[in-house]
């Protein structure tokens, strides 16, 4: 009898174990996956200390990234090891957000590994930033304790090593024929020269030492300033003097006379890769080029309709020239321009609840772009908040040459860079506690910039675009992104010149010559990145129309936006799956 009971209990136990095996396997896969994501994220921050600084992680604020070729090779090998670990995890054992995370993480690692052999790491700077603008790190660093200042001093004191590594990469690029075009590199000598000063207090690196928290003693202030003066005199200035010689004598002469990726080894293959990387699609450069031409024609018709609405007598080209040159469309005073930007943002903020169920807790500010970089950069950009909440997001607006910053484009630009564009989307993503850090604090350009461009179309619903010129401003920015598809692919994959790209802008937008040239030079420096905006926006618009059509009276714009934003910045195919799920759930 005892034996029978024992056997019976044994059988029950075995059956229970068999029933529990799938749950155990699922738990093990989930645990292994989460551990891998954590390990990779910590490694990523350690090897990218400037990224850690940007995110508000202070642990590596005393160091620069290791740009030695040996370190970069080891980093690539580590990525391969992470991908191998990932493939050892059975994705069928994951559920919920982990399913999306697995798909996105696999793509992230695979794309980074695929891109490394093309050697774009041999081009570590451009006219928009690099070694010559690293003083701007003070915009992201905290300066609240003595340790915070000492961290920045440690970076200043080791700047020569960082510069030597940068120079070695650039030399390797020269040797391999992987360099930039002269037309954008000719902006760098002035940027480098600004770093070579005869008095430490004139250095752009001195900014952090102009003021101190009130609780600092005089002795602490004196010691920090003395150390900063020494670092500027003995490290910063000599390093830039040496770098200037290398740049003028070696690097610049080796740069290309023409523009386009087609000049570098495997350039066409690399550009096709970057088109996939930034759009998260399999569209070819030619297909993207054709989409751009189609969008240019469509938007041009809408612009011409507004020209008729305002009863302008003349050609479309004359209308654009009128918009570029009539003083009523511009401010003379940069402060007045900046105040107008702030006023637009204040008008938008209280209207957001009409279109969104969830708003970010993190605030944002509006700042002028630093004078040192303003002449060489675009009309505006956004810098996200720190992950720990110690720094708000910031919308930077370019007040350089206000007579070339049209008033009628301020609304569209603010919608894109601040809210409901970049700040709303990025700050909301950072508050999603159920997704891993690489998704909360990262994302995909096609989604991020696609959302920014889509946000410009929401202006009327938020009380903006009340006059035809503001609506023309919105079309101007949409046209700008459509032209990007044409000129980026044109210069890097087809046979377009820089002048061809500029001319298409001149013929179809009222943007100033300064803005146009800065934009075209950005596309030359960042091949493929500009493709993401319009491709992402077209997908979001397509999905919205699909939802409106299928749901009819049951469509709620606030629900749709919640579905788009509630998983962070994802690839466009993942986004499409999310919206299909949203439509199906609403139908039920």
d(CA 480, CA 283): 20
Cis check for the bond before 498: say yes or no (omega within 30 of 0): no
d(CA 409, CA 382): 16
Phi-psi region for residue 389, left (φ > 0), alpha (ψ -120 to 50) or beta? left
CA distances, 510 to each of 21, 319, 378 (Å): 66, 8, 15
d(CA 369, CA 374): 6
3-state SS class at 394 = strand
pLDDT in tens, 115-153: 999 999 999 999 999 999 999 999 899 999 999 999 999
Per-residue pLDDT of the chain (588 residues; tens, 9 = 90+): 545 555 566 565 555 455 555 566 567 899 999 999 999 999 999 999 999 999 989 999 999 999 999 999 999 999 999 999 999 999 999 999 999 999 999 999 999 999 999 999 999 999 999 999 999 999 899 999 999 999 999 999 999 999 999 999 999 999 999 999 999 999 999 999 999 999 999 999 999 999 999 999 999 999 999 999 999 999 999 999 999 999 999 999 999 999 999 899 999 999 999 999 999 999 999 999 999 999 999 999 999 999 999 999 999 999 999 999 999 999 999 999 999 999 999 999 999 999 999 999 999 999 999 888 888 777 899 999 988 888 899 999 999 999 989 999 999 999 999 999 999 999 999 999 999 999 999 999 999 999 999 999 999 999 999 999 999 999 999 999 999 999 999 999 999 999 999 999 999 998 888 889 999 999 999 999 999 999 999 999 999 999 999 999 999 999 999 999 999 999 999 999 999 999 999 998
d(CA 371, CA 126): 17
Q: What is the pLDDT of residue 290?
A: 98
d(CA 116, CA 444): 18
* Orientation angle between helical segments 267-279 and 531-551, nearest 10 degrees: 40
d(CA 40, CA 83): 10
Two tokens at 384? Answer: 């996200």
- In 10 A of CB 492, how many CB atoms? 27
DSSP state of 232: I
Q: What is the pLDDT of residue 13?
A: 57
Q: What is the pLDDT of residue 3?
A: 53
Proportion of the chain in helix, strand, coil states, percent, rounded to 5: 70, 5, 25
Enumerate residues 6+ apart whose C-beta is below 8 A from 380.
369, 395, 396, 397, 398, 413, 416, 417
d(CA 195, CA 232): 10
Strands 380-383 and 393-397: antiparallel
Q: What is the pLDDT of residue 12?
A: 52
Q: What is the pLDDT of residue 399?
A: 94
3-state SS class at 211 = coil
Beta bridge partners of 356: none
Phi, psi of 541 (to 5 degrees): -65, -40
Contact present, 427 and 360 (Cβ < 8 Å): yes
Contact present, 67 and 162 (Cβ < 8 Å): yes
Phi-psi region for residue 195, left (φ > 0), alpha (ψ -120 to 50) or beta? alpha
DSSP 286-316: HHHHHHHHHHHHHHHHHHHHHHHHTT--S-H
Radius of gyration of the chain, Cα coordinates, nearest whole angstrom: 26
Q: What is the pLDDT of residue 477?
A: 93
């Amino acid at each position: 009898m005892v034996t029978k009971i024992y056997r019976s209990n044994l059988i029950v136990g075995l059956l229970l174990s068999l029933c529990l095996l799938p749950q155990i396997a699922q738990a093990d896969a989930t645990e292994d996956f989460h551990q891998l994501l954590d390990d990779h994220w910590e490694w990523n921050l350690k090897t990218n200390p400037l990224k850690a600084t940007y995110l508000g992680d202070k642990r590596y604020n005393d160091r620069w990234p290791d740009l030695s070729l040996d370190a970069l090779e080891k980093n690539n090998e580590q990525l391969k090891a992470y991908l191998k670990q990932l493939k050892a995890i059975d994705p069928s054992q994951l559920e919920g957000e982990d399913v999306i995370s697995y798909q996105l993480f696999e793509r992230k690692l695979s794309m980074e590994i695929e891109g490394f052999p093309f050697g774009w790491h041999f081009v570590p700077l451009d006219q928009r930033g690099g070694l010559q603008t690293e003083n701007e790190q003070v915009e992201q660093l905290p300066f609240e304790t003595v340790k915070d200042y000492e961290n920045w001093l440690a970076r200043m004191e080791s700047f020569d090593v960082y510069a030597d590594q940068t120079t070695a990469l650039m030399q390797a690029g020269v040797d391999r024929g992987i360099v930039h075009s002269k037309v954008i590199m000719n902006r760098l000598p002035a940027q480098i020269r600004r770093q070579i000063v005869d008095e430490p207090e004139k250095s752009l690196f001195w900014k952090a030492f102009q003021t101190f928290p009130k609780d600092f003693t005089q002795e602490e202030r004196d010691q920090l300033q003395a150390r900063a003066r020494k670092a500027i005199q003995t490290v910063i200035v000599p390093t830039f003097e040496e770098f200037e010689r290398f740049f003028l004598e070696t690097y610049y002469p080796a740069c290309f006379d023409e523009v386009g990726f087609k000049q570098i080894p495997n350039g066409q293959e690399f550009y096709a890769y970057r088109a996939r990387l930034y759009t998260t699609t399999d569209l070819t450069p030619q297909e993207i080029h054709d989409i751009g031409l189609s969008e240019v024609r469509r938007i041009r018709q809408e612009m011409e309709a507004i020209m008729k609405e305002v009863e302008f007598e003349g050609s479309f080209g004359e209308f654009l020239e009128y918009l570029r040159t009539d003083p009523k469309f511009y401010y003379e005073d940069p402060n007045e321009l900046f105040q107008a930007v702030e006023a637009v943002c204040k008008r938008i903020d209280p209207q957001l609840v009409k279109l969104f169920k969830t708003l970010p807790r993190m605030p944002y500010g509006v700042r002028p772009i630093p004078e040192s970089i303003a002449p060489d950069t675009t009309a505006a950009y956004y810098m996200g908040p720190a992950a720990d909440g110690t720094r708000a997001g910031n919308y930077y607006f370019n007040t350089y040459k206000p007579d070339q910053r049209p008033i009628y484009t301020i609304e569209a630009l603010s919608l894109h860079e601040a809210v409901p564009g970049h700040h709303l989307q990025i700050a909301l993503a950072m508050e999603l506690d159920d997704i891993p850090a690489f998704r909360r604090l990262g994302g995909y350009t096609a989604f991020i910039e696609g959302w920014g461009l889509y946000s410009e179309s929401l202006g009327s619903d938020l009380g903006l675009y009340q006059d035809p010129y503001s609506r023309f401003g919105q079309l101007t920015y949409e046209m700008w992104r459509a032209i990007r598809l044409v000129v980026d692919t044109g210069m890097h994959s087809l046979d377009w010149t820089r002048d061809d790209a500029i001319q298409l802008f001149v013929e179809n937008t009222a943007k100033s010559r300064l803005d146009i040239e800065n934009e075209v030079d950005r596309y030359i420096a960042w091949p493929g990145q500009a493709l993401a905006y319009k491709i992402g926006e077209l997908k979001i618009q397509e999905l919205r129309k699909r939802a409106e059509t299928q749901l009819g009276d049951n469509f709620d714009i606030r629900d749709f936006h919640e579905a788009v934003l509630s998983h962070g910045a994802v690839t466009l195919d993942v986004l499409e799956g999310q919206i299909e799920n949203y439509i199906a759930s609403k139908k039920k």
